[in-house]
Amino acid sequence: MTDNHRPVRSSRRRALPSWSLVAAGVLAGGLLGGAYGVLKTPTYTATSYVIAVPTDKSDTASALGFAQAYGRVATEVAVLGDAQVWAGVPVKTLRDSVRTATSPDAPMVSISATSAHPAEAVDMADAVARALTQHANATKSDTHVELLQFSRAVKPAAPSSASAEVTGLVGASAGGLLGGLALLVRPRRRPEEEPARPASVPGPAIAADTHGRL
Protein backbone atom coordinates (compact mmCIF):
# COMPACT_ATOMS: atom_id res chain seq x y z
CA MET A 1 0.00 0.00 0.00
CA THR A 2 2.88 2.34 0.66
CA ASP A 3 4.17 1.97 -2.92
CA ASN A 4 0.73 2.67 -4.40
CA HIS A 5 0.35 5.99 -2.58
CA ARG A 6 3.89 7.31 -3.21
CA PRO A 7 3.33 8.51 -6.85
CA VAL A 8 0.15 10.32 -5.81
CA ARG A 9 1.89 12.26 -3.05
CA SER A 10 4.78 13.18 -5.39
CA SER A 11 2.44 14.47 -8.08
CA ARG A 12 0.59 16.57 -5.53
CA ARG A 13 3.88 18.17 -4.47
CA ARG A 14 4.63 19.09 -8.10
CA ALA A 15 1.18 20.52 -8.77
CA LEU A 16 1.78 24.18 -7.84
CA PRO A 17 -1.05 26.74 -7.95
CA SER A 18 -1.57 28.35 -11.35
CA TRP A 19 -0.90 31.83 -9.99
CA SER A 20 2.59 30.78 -8.88
CA LEU A 21 3.95 31.48 -12.39
CA VAL A 22 2.69 35.05 -12.26
CA ALA A 23 4.00 35.56 -8.73
CA ALA A 24 7.41 34.18 -9.69
CA GLY A 25 7.52 36.46 -12.74
CA VAL A 26 6.64 39.53 -10.67
CA LEU A 27 9.28 38.70 -8.06
CA ALA A 28 12.03 37.94 -10.58
CA GLY A 29 11.21 40.96 -12.73
CA GLY A 30 11.12 43.28 -9.73
CA LEU A 31 14.50 42.05 -8.47
CA LEU A 32 16.14 42.34 -11.90
CA GLY A 33 14.63 45.77 -12.57
CA GLY A 34 15.67 47.10 -9.18
CA ALA A 35 19.19 45.75 -9.59
CA TYR A 36 19.43 47.39 -13.02
CA GLY A 37 18.38 50.74 -11.57
CA VAL A 38 20.97 50.48 -8.79
CA LEU A 39 23.88 49.33 -10.97
CA LYS A 40 23.22 51.54 -14.01
CA THR A 41 25.17 54.80 -14.10
CA PRO A 42 22.77 57.76 -13.65
CA THR A 43 22.51 60.22 -16.54
CA TYR A 44 21.79 63.95 -16.54
CA THR A 45 20.05 66.05 -19.18
CA ALA A 46 20.56 69.76 -19.87
CA THR A 47 18.55 71.78 -22.41
CA SER A 48 19.39 74.93 -24.32
CA TYR A 49 16.87 76.95 -26.38
CA VAL A 50 17.24 79.03 -29.53
CA ILE A 51 14.53 81.08 -31.21
CA ALA A 52 14.01 82.13 -34.84
CA VAL A 53 13.17 85.80 -35.29
CA PRO A 54 11.95 87.28 -38.61
CA THR A 55 13.68 90.35 -40.03
CA ASP A 56 11.94 93.30 -41.65
CA LYS A 57 11.67 91.36 -44.91
CA SER A 58 10.05 88.29 -43.37
CA ASP A 59 7.15 87.29 -41.12
CA THR A 60 6.34 85.01 -38.20
CA ALA A 61 5.18 82.16 -40.44
CA SER A 62 8.55 82.09 -42.20
CA ALA A 63 10.36 82.11 -38.87
CA LEU A 64 8.25 79.17 -37.71
CA GLY A 65 9.07 77.21 -40.84
CA PHE A 66 12.80 77.86 -40.55
CA ALA A 67 12.73 76.86 -36.87
CA GLN A 68 11.42 73.45 -37.93
CA ALA A 69 14.22 73.18 -40.48
CA TYR A 70 16.89 74.24 -37.99
CA GLY A 71 15.65 71.61 -35.56
CA ARG A 72 16.26 68.92 -38.17
CA VAL A 73 19.77 70.05 -39.14
CA ALA A 74 21.01 70.70 -35.59
CA THR A 75 22.39 67.16 -35.30
CA GLU A 76 24.00 67.10 -38.76
CA VAL A 77 27.76 66.71 -39.09
CA ALA A 78 28.22 70.29 -40.31
CA VAL A 79 26.83 71.67 -37.05
CA LEU A 80 28.27 69.04 -34.74
CA GLY A 81 31.72 69.44 -36.31
CA ASP A 82 31.86 73.01 -34.99
CA ALA A 83 30.14 72.16 -31.71
CA GLN A 84 32.73 69.55 -30.75
CA VAL A 85 35.37 72.28 -30.38
CA TRP A 86 33.38 74.06 -27.66
CA ALA A 87 31.97 70.92 -26.06
CA GLY A 88 35.31 69.12 -25.88
CA VAL A 89 33.85 65.78 -26.97
CA PRO A 90 33.94 63.86 -30.29
CA VAL A 91 31.25 64.27 -32.94
CA LYS A 92 30.06 60.71 -32.30
CA THR A 93 29.39 61.53 -28.64
CA LEU A 94 27.37 64.57 -29.67
CA ARG A 95 25.40 62.55 -32.21
CA ASP A 96 24.56 59.90 -29.60
CA SER A 97 23.80 62.34 -26.78
CA VAL A 98 22.05 65.34 -28.35
CA ARG A 99 18.35 65.49 -29.26
CA THR A 100 16.32 68.40 -30.64
CA ALA A 101 12.64 69.25 -30.52
CA THR A 102 10.50 71.94 -32.13
CA SER A 103 7.01 73.31 -31.55
CA PRO A 104 4.30 73.69 -34.19
CA ASP A 105 3.16 76.90 -32.50
CA ALA A 106 6.40 78.70 -31.57
CA PRO A 107 9.57 79.31 -33.67
CA MET A 108 11.78 77.75 -31.00
CA VAL A 109 14.23 74.84 -30.98
CA SER A 110 15.15 72.97 -27.80
CA ILE A 111 18.52 71.23 -27.78
CA SER A 112 18.95 68.59 -25.07
CA ALA A 113 22.16 66.77 -24.23
CA THR A 114 22.50 63.74 -21.95
CA SER A 115 25.64 62.68 -20.11
CA ALA A 116 26.82 60.90 -17.00
CA HIS A 117 28.32 64.23 -15.90
CA PRO A 118 25.99 67.25 -15.39
CA ALA A 119 28.58 69.84 -16.47
CA GLU A 120 29.32 67.94 -19.67
CA ALA A 121 25.62 67.83 -20.52
CA VAL A 122 25.48 71.63 -20.17
CA ASP A 123 28.56 72.13 -22.34
CA MET A 124 27.22 69.89 -25.11
CA ALA A 125 23.78 71.53 -25.21
CA ASP A 126 25.20 75.06 -25.29
CA ALA A 127 27.86 74.11 -27.84
CA VAL A 128 25.33 72.71 -30.31
CA ALA A 129 23.05 75.73 -29.78
CA ARG A 130 25.97 78.07 -30.47
CA ALA A 131 27.06 76.19 -33.60
CA LEU A 132 23.50 76.05 -34.93
CA THR A 133 23.05 79.78 -34.36
CA GLN A 134 26.22 80.59 -36.30
CA HIS A 135 25.26 78.34 -39.23
CA ALA A 136 21.76 79.79 -39.41
CA ASN A 137 22.90 83.40 -39.23
CA ALA A 138 25.48 82.83 -41.96
CA THR A 139 22.56 82.76 -44.42
CA LYS A 140 20.43 85.39 -42.67
CA SER A 141 20.56 87.72 -45.67
CA ASP A 142 18.95 85.01 -47.79
CA THR A 143 16.46 83.51 -45.31
CA HIS A 144 15.53 86.83 -43.68
CA VAL A 145 15.34 84.92 -40.39
CA GLU A 146 17.75 85.35 -37.50
CA LEU A 147 18.45 82.66 -34.93
CA LEU A 148 19.10 83.88 -31.39
CA GLN A 149 20.05 82.23 -28.11
CA PHE A 150 16.87 82.23 -26.05
CA SER A 151 18.03 80.38 -22.93
CA ARG A 152 21.31 78.76 -21.98
CA ALA A 153 21.39 75.30 -20.44
CA VAL A 154 21.18 75.01 -16.66
CA LYS A 155 23.22 72.44 -14.75
CA PRO A 156 20.82 69.64 -13.76
CA ALA A 157 20.50 69.00 -10.05
CA ALA A 158 18.99 65.51 -10.34
CA PRO A 159 19.43 62.59 -12.75
CA SER A 160 17.04 62.29 -15.65
CA SER A 161 17.42 58.49 -15.77
CA ALA A 162 14.86 56.28 -14.05
CA SER A 163 15.41 55.48 -10.35
CA ALA A 164 15.73 51.97 -8.94
CA GLU A 165 12.13 52.15 -7.69
CA VAL A 166 10.84 52.92 -11.19
CA THR A 167 12.93 50.25 -12.91
CA GLY A 168 11.85 47.78 -10.22
CA LEU A 169 8.17 48.50 -10.90
CA VAL A 170 8.72 48.21 -14.64
CA GLY A 171 10.55 44.92 -14.18
CA ALA A 172 7.82 43.56 -11.90
CA SER A 173 5.15 44.50 -14.44
CA ALA A 174 7.07 42.88 -17.28
CA GLY A 175 7.73 39.77 -15.20
CA GLY A 176 4.08 39.47 -14.27
CA LEU A 177 3.07 39.80 -17.91
CA LEU A 178 5.51 37.10 -18.97
CA GLY A 179 4.29 34.86 -16.17
CA GLY A 180 0.69 35.35 -17.30
CA LEU A 181 1.61 34.55 -20.90
CA ALA A 182 3.46 31.41 -19.78
CA LEU A 183 0.36 30.40 -17.83
CA LEU A 184 -1.80 30.78 -20.93
CA VAL A 185 0.44 28.86 -23.32
CA ARG A 186 1.54 26.03 -21.04
CA PRO A 187 0.26 22.59 -22.16
CA ARG A 188 -2.76 21.33 -20.30
CA ARG A 189 -2.70 17.91 -18.67
CA ARG A 190 -4.64 15.30 -20.62
CA PRO A 191 -6.95 12.87 -18.83
CA GLU A 192 -4.65 9.91 -19.43
CA GLU A 193 -1.84 11.78 -17.71
CA GLU A 194 -3.73 12.05 -14.43
CA PRO A 195 -2.09 10.03 -11.62
CA ALA A 196 -3.57 6.56 -11.19
CA ARG A 197 -5.75 6.05 -8.17
CA PRO A 198 -4.74 3.31 -5.71
CA ALA A 199 -6.58 0.02 -6.03
CA SER A 200 -9.55 -0.24 -3.68
CA VAL A 201 -9.58 -2.95 -1.05
CA PRO A 202 -12.87 -4.75 -0.32
CA GLY A 203 -14.40 -3.68 2.98
CA PRO A 204 -15.10 -6.05 5.89
CA ALA A 205 -18.86 -6.05 5.26
CA ILE A 206 -18.42 -7.54 1.80
CA ALA A 207 -16.07 -10.22 3.11
CA ALA A 208 -18.57 -11.18 5.84
CA ASP A 209 -21.40 -11.46 3.34
CA THR A 210 -19.28 -13.74 1.20
CA HIS A 211 -18.65 -16.13 4.13
CA GLY A 212 -22.34 -16.18 4.96
CA ARG A 213 -23.25 -17.40 1.50
CA LEU A 214 -20.72 -20.20 1.73
For residue 127, the SS3 value is helix
Together in a domain, 144 and 178: no
Same domain, yes or no, for 126 and 62?
Answer: yes
Tell me, yes or no, if the pTM score tops 0.75. Answer: no
Is 171 contained in some domain?
A: yes
Domain count, the chain: 2
Q: Of 147, 114, 129, nearest to 48 (Cα)?
A: 129
Q: Cα dist. 106→5, 53, 56, 65, 83 in Å?
A: 79, 10, 19, 10, 25
Those residues whose C-beta lies under 8 Å from the C-beta of residue 199, and which sit 6 or more positions away, are 4
Residue 53 is classified by DSSP as E
Q: What is the pLDDT of residues 27-52, one digit of tens each?
A: 777 666 666 555 567 889 999 999 99
Q: For the segment 49-104, what is each residue's pLDDT rounded down to a tens digit?
A: 999 999 888 888 999 999 999 999 999 999 999 999 999 999 999 999 999 999 99
- pLDDT, tens only, 117-163: 999 999 999 999 999 999 999 999 899 999 999 999 999 888 765 55
| Domain-embedded: residue 194 | no
* Shared-domain flag, residues 114 and 29: no
